[in-house]
Amino acid sequence: MHLSQRITNITGGGSDGWDLFNRARAMIANGTSVTELTIGEHDIPTHPSILEAMHKAALGGHTGYAAVPGTDELRETVAARIQAQTGVATTAANVMITPGGQAALFASHTAVCDDGDVALYIDPYYATYPGTIRGVGAVPRPVAARAENAFQPRAEDIDAAAVGAASLLINSPNNPTGVIYGEDTLSRIAEVCQRHDMWLISDEVYDTQVWEGSHLSPRALPDMADRTLVVGSMSKSFAMTGSRCGWIVGPESAIDHLITLAIHTTYGVPGYIQDASVFALTQGDALEREVATPFRRRRAIAQDILARQNSVGLIPAQGAMYLMLDVRATGMTGEAFAEALLDAHHIAVMPGESFGAAAAGHVRVAMTIEDRAFATSLATLCEFAETRASQTA
């Protein structure tokens, strides 16, 4: 039977970038012990106090259909958080709750792209971006943020790609590079969006994982609130990846239509998950800090290890739970390096190429295992790179 182009073409016919990850998982299933530094999943479970709030809400009866746009309480809580972050007046009417950030990305592109519209995104990128854009019937167009610019996107490159584009998707703090966009970069991006009358979709799911500098949302920039859709999530900030709770914040007119879309797609997010999210978001920043601290610590451990060698370069990661390592001195592609490291030492890292051509010759390391094992694995990775580099020299 025929299946639609829309669904069969989501990956664009190429690899979905997860080959190495799947091979590592297959090795584990066959009983091999593999150190996984692949995906962005915390090594701690959701905090018991959040689970208690969830349990209480479910036992209290919040198990039926929840309000499709999100509960008033959660929408108000998210609005207050975004208003405090941006200084821009934000009410519940500017917020729609979604089943995680991914659903928010899909819905946001659905809201702003017509069939065949070009949607820009920055390369390197989170693996689902081009597929999300294809999934809504739009055409993904990458704009490279180059290693030699420390993976900061340049406004002139976006400008050159923007002719006829409906939207631009950015992500700061960035997965996979850990880079944070400063006010300068964001202001230039905002100008380009205004010049080309583009929507800006700002994926801010790592906004609580900031190790250097500070997080700035483009919603805060002059005249940007009306053309920006902010994507947020409970996943990374509260170790709630499995709970599937996120949001879109944007102009009320867009949110109104997004609610209609949700009525016809997700039909909302479970009420007990939303209640637990309200609980989590109203605990002050202690809980968020507790979730972020292990990554901050491991980043410092990594900086220490990497400072003592010169075969692996570290892109100065300012945020998020990843390190982007430059392995070009080994003469290998990121893919070849990751494959060889998995074979030789049973350490799984993601090839940079999985995140786009701009990350070729790099690997992404998720800082998602316990400190000592993390330090040992990273030291092994460096020794491995050193051996390979000396063979190349």
Q: How many CB atoms lie within 10 A of CB 378?
A: 24
Two tokens, residue 382:
């460096």
Return the number of the residue (71 or 175) whose C-beta is nearest ligand PMP: 175
Count Cα neighbours of 340 within 13 Å in the Cβ-side half-sphere. 17
> φ and ψ at 258, to 5 degrees?
-65, -30
**Residue 361 binds ligand PMP, judged by CB under 6 A:** no
Q: Which of residues 151-180 bind ligand PMP (CB under 6 A)?
A: 171, 175
> Taking CA 336 as the corner, what is the angle to CA 133 and CA 360, rounded to the nearest 5 degrees?
45
Q: What angle do CA 92, 320, 384 make, to 5 degrees?
A: 160
Peptide bond into 176 cis (omega under 30): yes
Q: By CB under 6 A, which span of 73-81, 100-108, 159-167, 257-265 interacts with ligand PMP? A: 100-108
CA-to-CA distance for 332 and 142, rounded, in angstroms?
24
Angle between helices 48-59 and 271-281 (to 10 degrees): 140
Q: Does 368 bind ligand PMP (CB under 6 A)?
A: no
> Which two structure tokens, joined as six digits, stand for 161?
């790609």
Residues 38-77: x where in contact with ligand PMP by CB under 6 A, - otherwise, as a string: --x-------------------------------------
**Segment interacting with ligand PMP, rule: CB under 6 A, options 99-107, 277-285, 299-307, 376-384:** 99-107
Binding footprint of ligand PMP, residue count (CB under 6 A): 13
* Beta carbon nearer to ligand PMP, 102 or 108: 102
Residue 246 near ligand PMP by CB under 6 A: yes
Report residue 356 CA to chain centroid gap: 14
Scanning residues 253 to 312, which ones bind ligand PMP (CB under 6 A)? none
Among 46, 71, 77, 102, binds ligand PMP (CB under 6 A): 102
Return d(Cα 8, Cα 13) in angstroms, integer: 8
Of the two residues 218 and 246, which places its CB atom closer to ligand PMP in the complex? 246
To ligand PMP, the closest distance from the beta carbon of 100 in angstroms equals: 3
Does 208 bind ligand PMP (CB under 6 A)? Our answer is no
- Cβ-based nearer residue to ligand PMP, 71 or 237: 237
Of residues 102 and 208, the one with the C-beta less far from ligand PMP? 102
Contact assessment for residue 224 and residue 195, using Cβ atoms and an 8 Å cutoff: no
For ligand PMP, the binding residues (CB under 6 A) are 40, 100-102, 126, 171, 175, 203, 205, 233, 235, 241, 246
